[in-house]
Structure 1
């Protein structure tokens, strides 16, 4: 019973501290949004296919060892071919373990080394 009381007191004290903490200022929120936007859409290390100046940009988070991700890749290629104003940015998200991390590293290293010969965007 004492354990439960201590646990509840700790929970409520944490909640009151969270309420007292000031949220981000509007300027800070805008800076955070700009950082996220730059990381998603302007990262030169992220593979990209499709239009160079697209009207619509899709960001695809993928794991090279994920079977569902592999099924999506041909669909994204078809979208880019069918709609010339669309671009796809690929963001490796290795969630299936160490082999996924290795696959992502190999893919990004290969792209970086052959960027002069690999078409990036049309």
Structure 2
């Protein structure tokens, strides 16, 4: 069966589907049966058959078209995906610059390093992420080479429920006991294996001591919930689906980055 035959079938059965039943009259294109009683079942059968053959026509037409233009279709699909990826990357880069300017002015964002430094790295991380722990080692190596760097820490608790507990504790410790935040942060990052909620509470208590009760209360505060939500908003804005990720001078750098690469991107 060729395309011409299929077109003839389509024309024939399209005519069959032109059926109407009104006031006990039944008619089809090119003929009439006004004196006969209308048979709804017959009309419905014709419509069903016409729809069936139209479906078959569309199936064979698409099949023949794809067979003759397969490579063109593949090229068009690949071009569409490439364009979407390019637009997504451009949008993420633009948003990274916006987020960078906003975050470096936000004094509530936890940080490690030189408080007054303008050499700022924004790290997006999860306390239960293995690559984030490796990245933490690189940050410490960076501090050994330069002491004029400030690292803003954006908690992105996407790994587990324990990650969310750790993120809340991180934000709360920084808010209520900033002097001991570095100790708390590095204890969590240096913890071997996956961190449990109890690990978080134990480390928070060991780090903050007399401020532990205030930290626990702050973990469940509205302010902390809003900070967590703001982190999720940043992930969506930058189209980040994994950790770690960095923003330096407004440029988004996804994935693990060694200390040497971080140094190159600083002033």
- Shorter chain as denominator, the TM-score bin is 0.5 to 0.7
Q: Confirm or deny: 8 A CA contact 2:173 2:181 kept in the other structure.
A: no
Change (3 A) 1:62 1:119: closer
Provide the rounded CA distance (Å) in 2 between the counterparts of 1:33 and 1:73.
21
Q: Which structure 2 segments of 5+ residues have no match?
A: 1-54, 59-94, 183-267
Q: What's the CA shift string for 1:63-107, capped at 9, x where partnerless?
A: 011111011112212212321222111111111132211110012
2:180 corresponds in structure 1 to: 118
Runs of 4+ displaced beyond 4 Å: 32-35
**Is 1:99–2:162 an aligned residue pair?**
yes
Q: Does 1:57 align with 2:117?
A: no
Unaligned runs of 5+ in 1: 3-31
Question: Is the counterpart of residue 44 in structure 1 residue 107 in structure 2?
Answer: yes
Write 1 or 2 for the structure with the bigger share of helix.
Answer: 2
In structure 2, how many angstroms separate the alpha carbons of the residues matched to 1:102 and 1:95? 11
Relative distance call for 1:34 and 1:48 in structure 2 (3 A) is same
Q: Output the aligned Cα RMSD.
A: 2.7
1:80 to 143, 147, 150: 143
Q: Which has the higher contact order (CA 8 A, sep 6+)?
A: 1
* 1:58–1:88 contact (8 Å) kept in structure 2: yes
**Distance (Å, rounded) in 2 between the aligned partners of 1:113 and 1:52:** 17
Aligned length: 90
TM-score norm. by structure 2 comes to 0.30
Q: Distance in 2 between matches of 1:75 and 1:68?
A: 11
Normalising by structure 1, we get a TM-score of 0.59
Return 64-73 or 42-51, whichever deviates more.
42-51
CA distance in 1, matches of 2:115, 2:168: 25
Q: Deviations over 1:9-68 (max 9, x none)?
A: xxxxxxxxxxxxxxxxxxxxxxx8886334321222222122233242111101011111
